[in-house]
Structure 1
């Protein structure tokens, strides 16, 4: 289906590369240790990291999924990111792995270095549904979608693609 962004050569180049590429992070930016990689669990001193939870120093993090519609298209970008949450939320979420109830929705802090999201000047809100799936993150404060320029900036900040990757010769 045609969309307004089809007129932009950068968008056409992205579609030629296979389309929108979701972004994921192995750990929060503050994690000072090696990546988790294929390991289920990493423990370094008191710090601990799994695919969904992280304890690093006094901070507690939960992995969440942020879905952002891309303005001018029917496409969405998915970002598996880390959010710093209050301790009570972290431990309530941990309990869901043993059939505990889902934590209450909460405001969180983005814990991955993504300046383009910070530039949208929005807070991060987490919802947990029934507790059987990863927390869903939304941007509050009016940021409901992103532009193609925002998408490219997110790709560059995450190391997914560069602007040069989307240059065309035609």
Structure 2
């Protein structure tokens, strides 16, 4: 089925490049140490960063997925980002990863800047999955995004520049 976005040359150029590019943040914005990159973890003193968990000083973070449908298409953008959570939620999730019970849904704080969609520090609802998948993140008032917001986020995150989507 054709998408209304098929009329937009930027959308067509994005599709020619392979389609929607998901975004992932290596660490919370407040992480004061080097990136994890391909390493399984980074440990600096008491601070630790893995692909799913982060402990920095007295702060605790979980990695979650924000899925945002793109208006006018059947596609969605996936954003793997970090959420600051209370210690009780962090340790309940850690126990769950070791076979314990699933934590209850919880509120957290966005620990990455995804402007223009949401600012760092925005409240986030976390829904924990039973199949071991990352928690799902939800931000009030953010149910879907426009192509312009997608392109703004790509530029802000360094994923893709608008100039890369010039029609051929």
| TM-score normalised per structure 1 | 0.93
Instruction: State the shift of 1:42 in Å.
Output: 1.1
| Ranges in structure 2 where 5+ consecutive residues have no aligned partner | none
Task: Give me the whole-angstrom Cα distance separating, in 1, the residues matched to 2:153 and 2:101.
Answer: 34
Partner residue, 1:109: 109
Instruction: State the shift of 1:131 in Å.
Output: 6.0
| Aligned ranges 1:111-126 → 2 under 5 Å | 111-118=111-118, 123-126=123-126
| TM-score normalised per structure 2 | 0.94
Instruction: State the shift of 1:14 in Å.
Output: 0.5
Partner residue, 1:162: 161
C-alpha contact 1:103 1:131 (8 A) present in aligned 2 = no
Post-superposition CA distance 1:134-153 (Å, at most 9, x none): 1111122x321000011001
Partner residue, 2:129: 129
Partner residue, 2:89: 89
Post-superposition CA distance 1:68-99 (Å, at most 9, x none): 00001111001111111111101100111211
C-alpha contact 2:117 2:142 (8 A) present in aligned 1 = no
> Secondary structure of the equivalent of 1:33?
coil
> Secondary structure of the equivalent of 2:117?
helix
Task: Give me the whole-angstrom Cα distance separating, in 2, the residues matched to 1:84 and 1:156.
Answer: 24
Instruction: State the shift of 1:123 in Å.
Output: 3.4
Q: How many residues align?
A: 167
Instruction: State the shift of 1:129 in Å.
Output: 2.4
Instruction: State the shift of 1:115 in Å.
Output: 1.3
